[in-house]
């Protein structure tokens, strides 16, 4: 039987490298928006707007590359991703709303920040991914 790909693993690794490149570039652009706007060009709303525009464009690049990475994975990869994403999404909604309620009712002594939910979602997804991969190995 003819090989369906020259090497499935090589293709997967190339997609992963591409995703890492886009993610790192997007993260750097996030730093540019945060620190550039605060320390380098705090007076220039044009530069702040342009850095945000760049950040959003690179973010779209991350989304497209991640979609390709998942779509070109095999069936077990997709199953692991689906299980991890569903858990991360569910936890983020439930914990996020509980966190917002705690802020509104002054149960926490500080203001709820969206970045806390982003960090929580990322860690939930990462943990679920590691656990699910271990389950099938």
Partner 1 sequence: MKNVIREMRNEKGLRQEDLGDLIGVSRQTINAIEKGKYDPSLNTAFRLAKVMGKRIEDLFQFED
Q: Exposed (0-12), middle (13-18) or buried (19+): which is 57, by Cβ within 10 Å? A: exposed
**Minimum distance of partner 1 from residue 10's CB (angstroms):** 9
- Of 63, 65, 78, 95, residue with least CA distance to 129: 78
By beta-carbon proximity to partner 1, the closer residue of 8 and 21 is: 8
State in angstroms the smallest separation of the CB of 128 from partner 1: 17
Task: Fill in the DSSP letter of residue 42.
Answer: T
SS3 111: coil
Q: Which residues bind partner 1 (CB under 8 A)?
A: 1, 3-9, 12, 73-77, 79, 133, 135-137
State the nearest-atom distance from the C-beta of 83 to partner 1, in Å: 12
Q: Considering beta carbons, is residue 12 or 41 the nearer one to partner 1?
A: 12
């Amino acid at each position: 039987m003819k090989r369906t790909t020259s090497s499935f693993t090589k293709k997967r690794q190339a997609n992963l490298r591409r995703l890492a490149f886009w993610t790192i570039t997007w993260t750097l652009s996030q730093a540019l928006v945060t620190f550039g706007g605060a320390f380098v060009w705090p007076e220039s709303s044009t530069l702040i707007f342009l850095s945000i525009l760049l950040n959003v464009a690179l973010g779209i690049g991350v989304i497209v590359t991640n979609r390709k990475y998942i779509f070109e994975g095999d069936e077990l990869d997709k199953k692991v991703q689906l299980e991890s994403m569903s858990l991360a999404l569910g936890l983020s909604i439930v914990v996020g709303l509980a966190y917002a309620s705690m802020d509104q009712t002054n149960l926490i002594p500080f203001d709820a920040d969206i970045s806390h939910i982003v960090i929580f979602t990322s860690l939930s997804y990462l943990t679920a991914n590691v656990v699910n991969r271990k389950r099938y190995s």
